[in-house]
Amino acid sequence: MKLGLYRHGLLLFDIETDPAEQHNLADDHPDVVDRMQRLIDRFHRNTIPGKPVMVGAAPADHHGWERMWTGIGLTVFLVLILAVLFMVLCVMIFRYYSRRQS
C-alpha cells in the first residue's frame, strides 16, 4: 500500500554496521540504489492491489456502561448520605452552642 505521507528521497543503509540508520550511503553506492529502484518499480508495475476487506464491528458490550452508571449512582447516593449527615452534624453543633450561650 502506498501512503505517500512524505518524501524522504532515496535512502540506503548498511544495517550491520549502522543499525540505527544514521548514515545514508545512497550517494556512495549509486549502482545499488539504481538496482533496488528498478526492483521496486518492477514490483509496483506487476502487483495488483487487493480488494479492500470490510470488517464488521464486534457486538456492542453494554456491561461496561451498566457498571459505570451503577458506580455513578452509588457515588451520588453516598455523597447525598454524607451531605445529610454533615447537615445533621452542623445542626447539632449549632443547637449545642446555642444552648450553651443561653
What's the CA dihedral at 85, 88, 92, 97 to 10 degrees?
Answer: 100
Please state, in angstroms and rounded to a whole number, the distance separating the CA atoms of residues 47 and 40.
10
pTM, whole model, 2 decimals? 0.41
Virtual torsion, Cα 90, 96, 100, 102, nearest 10 deg:
80
| Region 63-76 average pLDDT | 86
Percent of the chain with pLDDT over 70: 88
In whole angstroms, give the CA distance from residue 71 to residue 88: 26
Position 6 scores a pLDDT of 61
